[in-house]
Chain A
Amino acid sequence: MRVLLSLAVVAVLAAGIVTVLRDVPFGGNSSRLGSHFVENGREDTGAANIVTSVVLGYRGFDTLGEVTVLFVAAVGLGALLVAGEKNAPRKLEKASMVLTTGSRFLFPLILLFGAYIFIHGHLTPGGGFQGGAIIASGYLLVYLGSRDRRLGKNWAASIETGGGLTFVLLGLAGLTAAGHWFLSNFLPLGVPGQLLSAGIIPIIYVAIGLKVGVELTGVIDSLMGGTE
């Protein structure tokens, strides 16, 4: 009964989707907003990567909200899991030397790659969120492999606070210095395509990258809690 009902719901949904999408051709996007961003994004924000110019240039305030959501989720997960019962630490077997040495060797390279991704966020595919995820994956590797490189609580808290504060303070500085709006670009735009271009966008992306990396590491830490 339940299976039949579920299948019926899905079939009705599929029929609705088919009737709607039959008239939407693939590849025939004609959004004027998108073409406006592609034509003017490079001159307006100085970023060669138009997705970055949308995320941090045109919709910077929205990205601040996004960072806040991630922060709240990380804090909420910590509260959810730490406030609960302390489960007894499980006995864990030590990993083999190959795994331990390999993860220790790869860890700094992964951090370097993550930093590259978020520093070049305005020039190449990537950005703060992606670079932060790569940094967190480095910490995940170490947690699974050797468990000897942990991010100290104080370091984590100060990097997280610093990242968020940088974002908000740059926004307020744009409000006062340029006198336009929150997060308006008050630094020189430079030549699009060079590393030092796009004004405040690289600074914000470095802040976001560090913050997201620390937050996702915190999420991994909470989810793997008790595996000391």
Chain B
Amino acid sequence: MTFLNEYAFYIGAFGLILIGLLTILLRHHLIKLIIGLSIMETGINLFLIAIGYISRGTAPIFPVDGGAGTVMVDPVPQALVLTAIVIGVAVLAMALGMAIRLHGHYGTLDMRRIKELKW
């Protein structure tokens, strides 16, 4: 039980990262590659949030009555993840745009038919 308590978030986060990596390595469909990229990004964000957790801490927001004495989790990883999510949206939008253009040019999204792009 302590093992689960201590490592559940790490296992979940890195599980997502490895699943995303496997998706990118094994799939041929371009949209699925982009989905794999998204899954990886979610895992990285989850890991960053998990590493900023402090035992029995609350969200780093002060209530109106002051909130003296409450333990709060580290706000820095949360701010970084806020940035990372926005950048992730930008990357996702660009990737989907390029997928649309590739489909317009080649008529397919299968990476094996789009030459010299996939091992």
Residues of A within 8 A of B (CB): 2-3, 6-7, 9-10, 13-14, 17, 21, 24-29, 31, 33-35, 37-38, 41-42, 48-51, 53-55, 59, 62-63, 66, 69-70, 72-74, 76-77, 80-81, 84-85, 87, 123-125, 127, 129, 133, 192-193, 212, 216, 219, 222-223
Q: In angstroms, how far is the closest chain B Cβ from the Cβ of A114?
A: 15
The answer on a CB contact under 8 Å between B74 and A29 is: yes
A223 vs B78: C-alpha distance when bound (angstroms): 29
The interface residues of chain B, by DSSP majority, are classed as helix
The answer on a CB contact under 8 Å between A69 and B78 is: no
A48 vs B50: C-alpha distance when bound (angstroms): 22
Does B107 belong to the interface (CB within 8 Å)?
no
Q: In angstroms, how far is the closest chain B Cβ from the Cβ of A181?
A: 18
Knowing A31-B76, A77-B97, the reply to whether A48 touches B91 (Cβ < 8 A) is: no
The answer on a CB contact under 8 Å between B93 and A54 is: no
The answer on a CB contact under 8 Å between B97 and A222 is: yes
A48 vs B9: C-alpha distance when bound (angstroms): 28
Residues of B within 8 A of A (CB): 5-10, 14, 18, 21-22, 25-26, 50-57, 59-64, 72-79, 82-83, 85-87, 89-91, 93-94, 96-98, 100-101, 104, 119
Knowing A14-B14, A26-B53, the reply to whether A55 touches B79 (Cβ < 8 A) is: yes
A80 vs B96: C-alpha distance when bound (angstroms): 10
A91 vs B105: C-alpha distance when bound (angstroms): 22
Residues of chain B with a CB closer than 8 A to A127's CB: 82
Residues of chain A with a CB closer than 8 A to B90's CB: 69-70, 72-74
A219 vs B51: C-alpha distance when bound (angstroms): 32
Q: Which 7 A-B pairs have the closest CB atoms?
A: A34-B74, A73-B90, A27-B55, A50-B60, A6-B25, A54-B79, A50-B75
The answer on a CB contact under 8 Å between A223 and B96 is: yes
Q: In angstroms, how far is the closest chain B Cβ from the Cβ of A44?
A: 13
The answer on a CB contact under 8 Å between B60 and A26 is: no
The answer on a CB contact under 8 Å between A13 and B21 is: yes
Residues of chain B with a CB closer than 8 A to A223's CB: 93, 96-97, 100
Q: In angstroms, how far is the closest chain A Cβ from the Cβ of B93?
A: 5
Residues of chain A with a CB closer than 8 A to B59's CB: 125
**Nearest chain A residue, comparing its CB with the CB of B70:** A38
A130 vs B83: C-alpha distance when bound (angstroms): 11
